[in-house]
Homo-oligomer: A and B are copies of this chain.
Amino acid sequence: MIAEIISTGDEIRSGALVDSNSAHIAQKLEETGLEVVRHTCVGDDPDMLEAVFREIGGRSDIAVVTGGLGPTTDDLTAQAAANAAGVSLAVDNTALSSVEAFFKQRNFSMSPSNKKQAMLPEGADCLYNPVGSAPGFVLKIGNCQFFFVPGVPFEMRKMISDSVLPRIEKLQGGNRNFCMVKTISTFGLTESATGERLAGLTEEFPGIRLGLRAKFPEIQVKLYANGEDEDTLGELIENAAKRVLQKTGKKAFSSDGTPMEAVVGDLLNKKNATLAVAESCTGGLISHWMTNVAGSSDYFLFSGVTYSNDAKINVLGVSPDTLRQYGAVHEETAKEMAEGARRVAGAVYGLSTSGIAGPGGGTDEKPVGTVCIGLAAPEGVKGLRFNFSFGRRAMNKTIFAMTALDFLRRELLVS
């Protein structure tokens, strides 16, 4: 069965609000095995709403509509649905008692405009709203079952799970289809290089769909599979995932959506090791990421965001001679920063960045996008230099921080 999603309202149509409802509904519908083929958004315009309902009523099996069920004059969905189905609006007793109960329970007084919310198209089946004043409803328009729910995200979510999905599963009878997704996160390959490494994958694993998503600075490899037997699908997708991991090697850092900072944190935890960081060009982003992980205080001890040379000398003990001889952006300086952070905090590992995020500060020898990374470990200290040219300051900070964490991740994997 194919499904469509319709979001309504001038706020979304005009871009004042990002429509996150449709993504949620699409995920939930696809999990039941429905194929969501299209989303549509239109504003609070009764003719447009009616036309869209008729159009979709003529081509799909299931439609879920959000928004326009409130008490105000720009809430026009019920009337437009009635028009599209060729019926009238009438007071629905289930809907009326649901609205009345909502207000009574909260000791709110019910305004006349709330009564409007109990007017549903004739023949509609009321959907109870346990968390808001607007009831939803189910109505057949053309050959399509339409599910109307409010646009307020938490009301919509509750009604989708409590009322809409069970009814859809009933409509599907025994013919449930499963949809599985697996995400493998990689770092260090471009989108096209990733695609080339995975050439032939869908031929080798028939039934697998492959999607690549650039989620800067990662490239996510997504594997999708649909079918009726959950076990067969699970095996198929796991085998395909193994092949993706073989083909991407160390560029793959997680196969369940775990972000880089949690992968690094996990490796540190397993080794019972601790980390201190010295950041110049990344300006605190590495430590912000690392401390986003709950429980990171177990292994993350300290970061010195040393933007000035004085701070590098006073806090991290970088030698003024090194700074004079090589400058702030150099492997030697990065190595001393990493050693300094490690020593000051008494950590097992010290990781540092020094570079030029831009837009100013670049030279011919060290253009914007240059970053030096230092890694101090019990076995010794290493320094590396990279050059990226993404141009924008925020992107440079992000790729510098990711490169440093990836350097540490690979060290933790072999050490």
Contacts and interface: CB of A to CB of B under 8 A. Distances in A.
A295 interface: yes
5 contacts: A14-B27, A15-B22, A16-B211, A37-B45, A302-B315
Contacts of A210: 74
Interface string A268-304: 0000000011010001111110111011110011111
A205 to B, nearest CB: 15
Contacts of A276: 311
Interface residues of A, number: 108
Interface in A295-340: 295-297, 300-308, 310-311, 314-315
A101 interface: no
B37 A43 contact: yes
Interface in A381-399: 387, 389, 391-395, 397
A266 interface: no
A251 interface: no
Contacts of A224: 10, 14
Nearest to A393: B294
A196 B110 CA distance: 12
Contacts of A303: 284, 303-305
Contacts of A292: 283, 393-394, 397
Interface in A143-197: 152, 154, 181, 190-193, 195-196
A306 B277 CA distance: 11
A361 B24 CA distance: 32
A105 B388 CA distance: 11
Contact of A308 (B38, B152, B345): B345
A389 B105 contact: yes
A412 interface: no
A15 B211 CA distance: 12
Contacts of A108: 190
Contacts of A114: 192
A41 interface: yes
A346 interface: yes
A19 interface: yes
A403 to B, nearest CB: 15
Given A40-B39, A302-B306, A222 B11 contact: yes
A212 interface: yes
A389 B304 contact: no
A30 B48 contact: no
A407 to B, nearest CB: 18
A366 interface: no
Contacts of A13: 26, 36-39
A190 B28 CA distance: 30
A168 to B, nearest CB: 15
A43 B39 CA distance: 10
Contacts of A301: 307-308, 310-311
A119 interface: no
Which of A216, A301, A395 counts the most B-chain CB atoms under 10 A from its CB?
Answer: A301
Contacts of A209: 10
